[in-house]
Amino acid sequence: MARRSDHTREELHVMILDAAREIVAQKGFANLTIRRIGEAIGYSSGTLYNVFDDVDDIVLHLNATTLDSLSDELAAVPVGEDIEAMLISLAEGYIRFVETRPHLWGLLFQKPSTRKPRPDWYEERVERSFALLDSALDPVFESGSEEARREAALVLWSGLHGMCTLATEGIVLSWDEVRRLSKALVTNYVAGLQQTSRRDSGSSISSDRSKSIA
């Protein structure tokens, strides 16, 4: 392939990620190689290595754009006082995202070939996507219960992630079943959290009264 110099480094960065995204979306991660990306944009493999370290580096940046898209979609869910309704809407948004971008979503969970630590800017994107679910649970927990709230958010996300994995792999569940079961998961889990919260609140009030009597 002839050497080209038609684009700036910044333009090449975008072109490479766009081509990688298209390859993964259409053919899956197994077909993502430096050579195929180079062929798609008309540049030699050597040029790509001047922009990214390797395929893992490309995947890291591609995953960052996927996380941005996911966060933007979830952030569009209207905020309301009904915790259950909001969580169901967030779950539906997540399911819709996975169903329409199964390969790109799956790429988020591919193990890199090297064990380089993920940079802070990537971890911030991961946190942003998770924080939306975390903050939706705020009304259930009293101040100072950040750890319990985050654990509850992780339980809900893990359950939803597992259902989506079964659907994307064509095992056991259809997407309609995932939607139905996700609603049941949210409804039952939130009801349990609220019941626990009321019980803990009642215990606290009883304890305060005992102290005042004493």
Render pLDDT for 123-177 as a digit per residue (tens, 0 to 9). 999 999 888 888 888 888 865 578 888 999 999 999 999 999 999 988 889 999 9
What are the sequence ranges of the domains in the chain?
Answer: 1-52, 60-206
Domains 1-52 and 60-206 share a fold: no
Residues 204, 174: Cα–Cα separation, whole Å: 44
Tell me what the mean pLDDT of segment 1-26 comes to. Answer: 87
pLDDT of residue 201: 58
Which residue, 129, 156, 131, is CA-closest to 66?
A: 129
Domain range 60-206, CATH class:
mainly alpha
Rg of the chain over all Cα atoms, to the nearest angstrom: 22
Tens digit of pLDDT for each residue in 49-61? 999 999 999 999 9
Specify the pTM: 0.85
pLDDT at 3 over 60: no
Domain range 1-52, CATH class:
mainly alpha
